[in-house]
Structure 1
Amino acid sequence: MINRISIRNYAIIDQLDIEFSNHLSIITGETGAGKSIILGALGLILGERADSKSLFKDDSKCVIEGSFEIEKYGLKDFFADNDIDYDVNTIIRREITVDGRSRAFVNDSPVNLTLLKELGEQLIDIHSQHQTLQINSAAFQLQVVDGFAQHKNEVEIFRNDFKAYKKNQLKLEKLITQSNEGKTEIDYLQFQFNELEAVKLIDGEQLELENEQQLLSHASEIKSSLGNTVYILDESETPVLGQLKEAIHHISTLEKYNPSIVNIANRLRSVQIELKDVSTEIAALSDRTLIDPERLDFVNERLDLIYRLQQKHRLASIKELLELQQSLNDKINSFNNADEEIERLKKQLEQEFKQIIVKAEKISLQRNKALKDVEQQVTTLLKELGLVNAVFKIENTPLENHQVTVNGLDQIKFLFSANQGFNPQELNKVASGGELSRLMLAIKGLSAKYNALPTIVFDEIDTGVSGEVARKVGNVMHKYAENMQVITITHLPQIASKGQTHFFVYKENKNGHTSTGIRKLSHDERIKEIAVMLSGENPGENALLNAKELLTQVN
């Protein structure tokens, strides 16, 4: 419920602070005093749009703040899901700057208008004579019946199961589509995979083949040069190794004469050993270098095949070709497994559908049991509200199993007749605005017994009634306020007298500006205000006595 609202710099309101009763609060005042403007401010903190024209003073921002007690509304998950700090005493604030920009906060957490509106709908229901479309809504009518049936948990479980079923159904449809598309593609994918698999690619072989190709392509030149090198070092008429051996012999004869020559002789001997090793290694390399045209042809063909595959698939290495091969294999396997998955999912959906239908039929049975109770209570209350010939019926047209929806197997439709001798018909065909207002009053009040309904604000829905009917409407509102918070704007003294708290809205002139004010009336002030509503300005003694009597009549 709403505990308090603070309004600063809005429309013709400079500054207002209102603390509401937790039961029935009455708001009265002359036409044009600003009652609807207060409702407009309330609408802003519930997510309605606004602009800079809403400002009372053009050079200051508008700030509207409401304090709500939300413990009974089960909103912890909503706050958690939207990353807002939860508090049983929640503060909602709306700010509108001089340039028309708007900001909204819930417990000091910034929120967008969509989220604010979603939260606001769960806190306050503003209802006027011109806002009766909701009662024609199939969703609202079903909600009313479910409230009387008192099976909230069963309905919630069913809806979650139904949504899961529909999600799996979409998954199946997607799999079937993919499978059908895949069957036209799989032959080509299989061809590509077979082509790559047949080559038996090995990561790293390309570099080895390219090196081998270089050797085989120049084998004759390499072998000839290696042979000539060995010949020069060790096989010619004056081989380098032979001359080096002779040089060592000559210099070794001088070692005994000069110690420095010993080092030179040793170095020559080292060179001799190294050069023998080099000659031997070159000879071996020459022997291993084969002129093999057949092997060269194989290497060239292998490389040509690798290059062709890389060019075809626009890839640069064998590693990428192997990755492509694995990817193709995975796709082929997924297509091959799709049929199995489709069959598995079909069987799962069959079981889920059977369970859904069982739950839907149980819910439908509970709804049908509640229909008579709803019809009887609403009809009885309509008679109390002055519609003595009213007939209220609920028609439930069951759906076939295959037509089941998130709401189950039921199509609820409210039917109404206000006049004797006429069959009940759909509300939008037969009910007037005043009749719809009283019907909504009856239904919402009765629903409050079974649901933690938000605060209801009735904005002059009593238009068109008077006298005894008005008294009964007031009694009904007073009764509803025992279970929920009700705020009513009215021009009827019979209704105004039923409130626990009475606010009077008025206009005043300050510093050349007209602004709206509001004050909570004392008991004596209420007597005078109700007397004025009964007889006009300057009420006489009889009007005052009538006002006192109205205030003592709760039922």
Structure 2
Amino acid sequence: MLVHLDIKNFTVVKQVELSIAQGLTAITGETGAGKSIALDALGLCIGDRAESNIVRQGAERAEVVAHFDISKLPKVKALLTEEMLIQDDNPDECFIRRVVSKEGRSKAFINGVAVNLSQLKQLGSKLVHIHGQNDHHQFLKADNQLALLDGFAQHQDKLDATKQAYTDYQKQSKALRTLQEAQQQRLDRVSLLQYQVEELDAFAMVEGEFEQLEADFKRLNSVQELLQSAEKSCYLLKDDENANALSLMNMALKDIQEQLDTDENLQGAYELLQNAVIQAQEAYTELSHYQSSLEADPEQLQQTEQRYATSLDLARKHGVNPEQLHNIHSELAAELANLQSQEASLDALEQECKQSLEAYQKYAQDLHQSRTKAAGKLADEIKSSIVEMNLPHAVVNAQVVFDSKAKPNAKGNDEIRLLVSVNPGQAPDLMEKVVSGGELARIGLAIQVIRSRDYSIPTLVFDEVDTGISGQTASVVGKLLKKLGAQSQVICVTHLPQVAAQGHNQLFVTKLTDGKTTETKVLKLTKEERVNEIARLLAGDELTDTAIANAKDLLKH
């Protein structure tokens, strides 16, 4: 709960320190004194937007510090621990500090550690809930009525399960739509790939084949020239009977051999020439074999030429070099297999999507049943509360309608209709159609009290929510807030003496001016001061004995 609030240079407040006790704290004061300033400062601490005009005239910055006791708030402690913001030496306390410069720049700190606005709001939502003057209008909206019902039903597990099932269904649906949207394009591609792969399958070129094919084509296409060249070389080496290379080399070898005994320096030349003769003989033998292996084969040449030409055509068709045909064949076959597997994935995904939708519908139906069960109890509680607020003929119905044809939604497929009647003979209908502004304010207050009771927020703030009511109704409102204050810390800004008298504590807001500057002060009233303040609320500025007597009587109850 909120323990202490320190406000400096905030609008017309120079400095105010407030100690807030458990129970119902009523805040009263003269019109225009700034009774809501403390609430605005508290709102700043829990994440409200900062404006430069909140800084007191002449000051450099505004500063608000809120001190909370979190000893009985395990969820808050868990959040602070997770964010590494817990005070190790004092884990039962939490300090929030917000500073706003006159230029409008804002800084926030939790337990002395700088945090962003998102972190501040996340923590603030677990510590304080502020109900504004016109918040009752929010209950005219179906979404807020549904949130009210869910909070009252306390079935967060069913909400989470429905949301998760919706998320799973959305994920499957998105993947399915992506595949379906690309299906025609994929089918066209599959058709083309099937033709291309079948063509390449039929050609069946293996890796490295084109290089060999190219060599064979050149060789077969030049067989006559090759034969002539081989024959001429053999003729020059040995076959010419008149003069050939081998016979001449042998003659030279014989002459040198005869001179070796005369000069051994010829030994080197002799050996080289001897090796040359051997090499020439081997070359002749190799050429003879080559010559005999060469055979003009028109059929083989035609086959090779045709395969070579087909290779070039396929390479041009696929925009690659002929040497890459084997690789492109493998790539296209892999792509075809992948696309064909996607067709199978589409069938499987359609089935998974169907199963996800069925799972979502199951959870949504379970949520619907829980809401339907809670709706009657919520309507009874609202009716009971507003009957006490001088609406004795009130009738309240809460209908939960499941729309089976609606698209899946994270909150289920329910529509809630909160129907009200406040006059005899009047059929229950939507609130905006059958209730006046004052009646709506009372209904809204009843709903706020019920909702606040169901939330685990320790500090509840009501900013003049009793506007538009008076008399006996005001007394009932005060008792409601006091009852709520018995289980939570409640702070209420009010102008009604019947409500203020129900407070366990009372703060008085006053505005002082010296003609040049204005300053707002907030004072904690003693027992005697409370009598005078409530008498003022009853009678105005002139305190009469009757008003004082009535004030004392109100404070007894």
**TM-score, length-normalised on structure 1?**
0.79
Aligned residue among 456, 468, 486 for 1:482? 486
Contact 2:132/2:465 (<8 A) preserved: yes
Is 1:196–2:200 an aligned residue pair? yes
Q: How has the CA–CA distance of structure 1 residues 238 and 154 changed in structure 2, closer, same or farther, with 3 Å as cutoff? A: same
- C-alpha separation in 2, matches of 1:265 and 1:14: 122
Question: What is the 5 A alignment of 1:468-479?
Answer: 468-479=472-483
Aligned residue among 295, 320, 323 for 2:328? 320
Aligned to 1:440: 444
Deviation at 1:282, TM superposition (A): 5.1
Aligned residue among 162, 165, 168 for 1:161? 165
Deviation at 1:390, TM superposition (A): 2.7
Aligned amino acid, residue 493 of structure 1: P
Aligned amino acid, residue 375 of structure 1: A
- C-alpha separation in 2, matches of 1:346 and 1:278: 77
- C-alpha separation in 1, matches of 2:518 and 2:292: 115
- C-alpha separation in 2, matches of 1:453 and 1:239: 117
Aligned to 1:32: 32
Aligned amino acid, residue 28 of structure 1: T
- C-alpha separation in 1, matches of 2:287 and 2:368: 97
Deviations along 1:499-520, one digit per CA (max 9) or x if unpaired, are 3444444445699654545455
Aligned residue among 339, 343, 364 for 1:331? 339
Aligned to 1:395: 399
- C-alpha separation in 2, matches of 1:204 and 1:103: 71
Aligned to 2:144: 140
Q: How has the CA–CA distance of structure 1 residues 506 and 343 changed in structure 2, closer, same or farther, with 3 Å as cutoff? A: closer
Deviation at 1:248, TM superposition (A): 3.7
Aligned to 1:457: 461
Aligned residue among 412, 417, 422 for 1:418? 422
Deviation at 1:460, TM superposition (A): 0.8
Q: Which runs of 5+ in 2 are unaligned?
A: none
More divergent stretch after superposition (235-244 vs 470-479): 235-244
Deviation at 1:327, TM superposition (A): 0.5
- C-alpha separation in 1, matches of 2:466 and 2:44: 24
- C-alpha separation in 2, matches of 1:246 and 1:63: 120
- C-alpha separation in 2, matches of 1:475 and 1:432: 23
Is 1:384–2:384 an aligned residue pair? no
Contact 1:132/1:433 (<8 A) preserved: no
Aligned amino acid, residue 307 of structure 2: R
Contact 1:190/1:332 (<8 A) preserved: no
Contact 1:132/1:436 (<8 A) preserved: yes
- C-alpha separation in 1, matches of 2:260 and 2:354: 102
Deviations along 1:416-468, one digit per CA (max 9) or x if unpaired, are 23333423221111223332232222223223444425743211111122343
Contact 2:9/2:59 (<8 A) preserved: no
What SS does structure 1 have at the residue aligned with 2:135? coil
- C-alpha separation in 2, matches of 1:516 and 1:208: 100
Aligned amino acid, residue 153 of structure 1: D
Aligned to 1:128: 132
What SS does structure 2 have at the residue aligned with 1:191? helix
Question: What is the 5 A alignment of 1:40-189?
Answer: 40-56=40-56, 60=60, 66=66, 69=70, 72=73, 84-85=83-84, 87=86, 100=104, 108=113, 110-111=115-116, 124-165=128-169, 167-168=171-172, 178-179=182-183, 186-189=190-193
Contact 2:166/2:408 (<8 A) preserved: no
Question: What is the 5 A alignment of 1:229-244?
Answer: 229-236=233-240, 237-244=242-249
- C-alpha separation in 2, matches of 1:356 and 1:478: 43
Count of aligned pairs between the two proteins:
546
Deviation at 1:136, TM superposition (A): 1.8
- C-alpha separation in 2, matches of 1:260 and 1:376: 133
What SS does structure 2 have at the residue aligned with 1:394? strand
Aligned amino acid, residue 134 of structure 1: Q
What SS does structure 2 have at the residue aligned with 1:370? helix
Deviation at 1:368, TM superposition (A): 3.8
More divergent stretch after superposition (385-394 vs 167-176): 167-176
What SS does structure 2 have at the residue aligned with 1:144? helix
- C-alpha separation in 2, matches of 1:407 and 1:232: 100
Aligned to 1:341: 348
Contact 1:189/1:332 (<8 A) preserved: no
Aligned amino acid, residue 390 of structure 2: G
Q: How has the CA–CA distance of structure 1 residues 56 and 260 changed in structure 2, closer, same or farther, with 3 Å as cutoff? A: farther
Aligned to 1:427: 431
Is 1:494–2:498 an aligned residue pair? yes
Deviations along 1:101-137, one digit per CA (max 9) or x if unpaired, are 5566777475465x76576556544322323232122
Deviations along 1:181-226, one digit per CA (max 9) or x if unpaired, are 6556654443333333333243333333344444445554455445
Q: How has the CA–CA distance of structure 1 residues 285 and 104 changed in structure 2, closer, same or farther, with 3 Å as cutoff? A: farther
Q: Which runs of 5+ in 1 are unaligned?
A: none
Q: How has the CA–CA distance of structure 1 residues 289 and 70 changed in structure 2, closer, same or farther, with 3 Å as cutoff? A: farther
Deviations along 1:463-513, one digit per CA (max 9) or x if unpaired, are 122343323212211211233343322222332343344444444569965
Q: How has the CA–CA distance of structure 1 residues 101 and 258 changed in structure 2, closer, same or farther, with 3 Å as cutoff? A: farther
Aligned to 2:307: 302
Contact 2:445/2:466 (<8 A) preserved: no
Q: How has the CA–CA distance of structure 1 residues 533 and 240 changed in structure 2, closer, same or farther, with 3 Å as cutoff? A: farther
What SS does structure 1 have at the residue aligned with 2:197? helix
Q: How has the CA–CA distance of structure 1 residues 245 and 164 changed in structure 2, closer, same or farther, with 3 Å as cutoff? A: same
Aligned amino acid, residue 332 of structure 1: Q
**TM-score, length-normalised on structure 2?**
0.79
Q: How has the CA–CA distance of structure 1 residues 269 and 142 changed in structure 2, closer, same or farther, with 3 Å as cutoff? A: same
Deviation at 1:396, TM superposition (A): 3.5
Deviations along 1:383-442, one digit per CA (max 9) or x if unpaired, are 333333333222334545778765556432112233334232211112233322322222
How large is the RMSD of aligned CA atoms in angstroms?
A: 4.4
What SS does structure 2 have at the residue aligned with 1:327? helix
